[in-house]
Amino acid sequence: MIDTILSLVPVYGGYIVALATFLSCLALPIPSSLIMLTAGAFVASGDLGAVSTAGLAFAGAVAGDHVGYAIGRRGAGLLHRLGPKPRAMIGKARGLLDRHGGAAVFLSRWLFSPLGPYVNLVTGAAPMPWLRFALWDALGEGVWVALYLGLGYAFGSQIEAVAELAANFSGILAAGAVALGLGLWLRALLRADHRKRGRRRI
């Protein structure tokens, strides 16, 4: 399976990379990180052009992100049909996005990349101002392209090793971020329970 993917990159070049990054930003299960690492390796081996590959990868990723954002924007209308409690949650999420949205978009492009597609939908639904989204998205994807092509370039002779390690590391970071977020939320809920119980005793 991996071999098939690895052989697609030198055969179809930058265009398959662009397609892969585009589809993966829409939450489709495409191993875009592996493809990017492979592309980096083939840039190092002289089979792919650095600028064209980076440009195509970047264009594909940004395009995919904007489609995700647009879908989130469209779906936002559905949010109004929800009851008061979910709407209160959404209000809180909007508050969070206002304060930390840029960071969320930026970091979910490259550090917590498995979360990226979902951040696209949520920021579209909130909605985060398009220009703000576009700016942080471009910066984040720039880091992602440079990071993965760079890693592929540097470790071009051990692509399978780097790909496996990078995928696992990415999973660690994303799961860690989610666990941390949920843990903090749980702690806040338990504290609120404790306070309520305290008041009742009085």
Residues found near another protein in the complex (CB under 8 A): 3, 6-7, 10-11, 13, 41-42, 44-48, 156-158, 160-161, 164-165, 168-169, 171-172, 175-176, 178-179, 182-183, 185-186, 189-190, 193
Shortest distance in whole angstroms from residue 82 CB to another protein: 17
Considering the complex, state which of residue 62 and residue 166 has its C-beta at the smaller distance from another protein: 166
C-beta closer to another protein: residue 142 or 156: 156
Residues near 174 by beta carbon (within 8 Å), at least 6 away in sequence: 112, 113, 114, 115
Q: Find where tokens 């071999």 sit.
A: 3
Closer to another protein by Cβ: residue 70 or 165: 165
**Nearest distance from residue 96's CB to another protein, in Å?**
16
Q: Which CA distances in Å does 167 have to 94, 111, 112, 196?
A: 31, 12, 11, 43
From the CB of 156, what's the least distance to another protein, in Å?
A: 5
- As measured in angstroms, the least distance from the Cβ of 173 to another protein is 9
**Nearest Cα residue to 125 out of 94, 83, 84:** 94
Q: Which is nearer to another protein, 48 or 128 (CB)?
A: 48
- Cα separation of 164 and 19, whole Å? 21
- Give CA angle at 40 (38, 46), nearest 5°: 105
CB of 77 to another protein, least distance (A): 26
CB contact set of 97 (below 8 Å; sequence gap of 6+) = 104, 122, 123, 126, 128
